[in-house]
Structure 1
Amino acid sequence: MSAGTRKLEEVLLAEPRGFCAGVDRAIEIVERALTKFGAPIYVRHEIVHNTFVVNSLKSKGAIFIEDLAEVPPGATLVFSAHGVSKAVQQEARDRGFDIFDATCPLVTKVHVEVAKLAKEGFEFIMIGHKGHPEVEGTMGQLSSGIHLVEDVADVARVQPGQTEKLAVVTQTTLSVDDAAEIAAAVRERFPSVREPKQQDICYATQNRQDAVKIMSPQVDLVIVVGSPTSSNSNRLRELAQRLGTESYMVDDATELKPEWFEGKSRIGLTAGASAPEVLVSEVIDRIRSFGAVSVRKMGGIEETTKFPLPKGLRLEPPPPGHLG
Structure 2
Amino acid sequence: MQVTIDKNSGYCFGVEFAIQMAEDELAHEETLYCLGDIVHNRMEVERLHQRGLCIIDREQLADLHDCKVLIRAHGEPPETYALALRNNLELIDASCPVVLKLQNRVKHAFDLSQRQDGQIVIYGQPGHAEVAGLTGQTGNRAIIVMTEADLDQIDFARPVTLFSQTTKSTAGFYKMKGLIEARIAAAGGALESFDANDSICRQVSNREPQLAKFATLHDVIIFVSGRKSSNGKALFSVVQQFNARSYFVENETELEDEWFAGAQSVGICGATSTPLWLMQQVQARIEAVGELV
Q: Same fold (TM over 0.5)?
A: yes
Q: Which has the higher helix share?
A: 2
Shift of 1:144: 4.4
CA contact (8 A) 2:156 2:183 kept: no
User: 1:262-281, aligned counterparts within 5 Å?
Assistant: 262-281=261-280
- Whether 1:228 and 2:227 are equivalent positions in the alignment is yes
- Whether 1:19 and 2:11 are equivalent positions in the alignment is yes
- Whether 1:63 and 2:73 are equivalent positions in the alignment is no
Unaligned runs of 5+ in 1: 1-8, 294-324
User: 1:162-241, aligned counterparts within 5 Å?
Assistant: 163-164=158-159, 166-190=160-184, 191-192=191-192, 193-196=194-197, 199-241=198-240
- Whether 1:158 and 2:153 are equivalent positions in the alignment is yes
CA contact (8 A) 1:220 1:245 kept: no
CA contact (8 A) 2:220 2:243 kept: no
The CA RMSD measured in Å over matched residues stands at 2.1
Shift of 1:87: 2.2
Q: Distance in 2 between matches of 1:144 and 1:31?
A: 33
Match for residue 138 of structure 1? 134
CA contact (8 A) 2:5 2:283 kept: no
CA contact (8 A) 2:221 2:243 kept: no
CA contact (8 A) 2:14 2:96 kept: yes
Share of identical aligned residues, percent? 27
Q: Distance in 2 between matches of 1:35 and 1:218?
A: 41
Shift of 1:123: 2.2
- Whether 1:93 and 2:85 are equivalent positions in the alignment is yes
Q: Normalised by the size of structure 2, how large is the TM-score? A: 0.88
The structure with higher relative contact order (CA 8 Å, sep 6+) is 1
Match for residue 96 of structure 2? 104
Count, aligned residues: 280
User: 1:266-305, aligned counterparts within 5 Å?
Assistant: 266-291=265-290
Q: Distance in 2 between matches of 1:240 and 1:292?
A: 26
Secondary structure of the structure 2 residue equivalent to 1:287: helix
Q: Normalised by the size of structure 1, how large is the TM-score? A: 0.80
- Whether 1:128 and 2:124 are equivalent positions in the alignment is yes
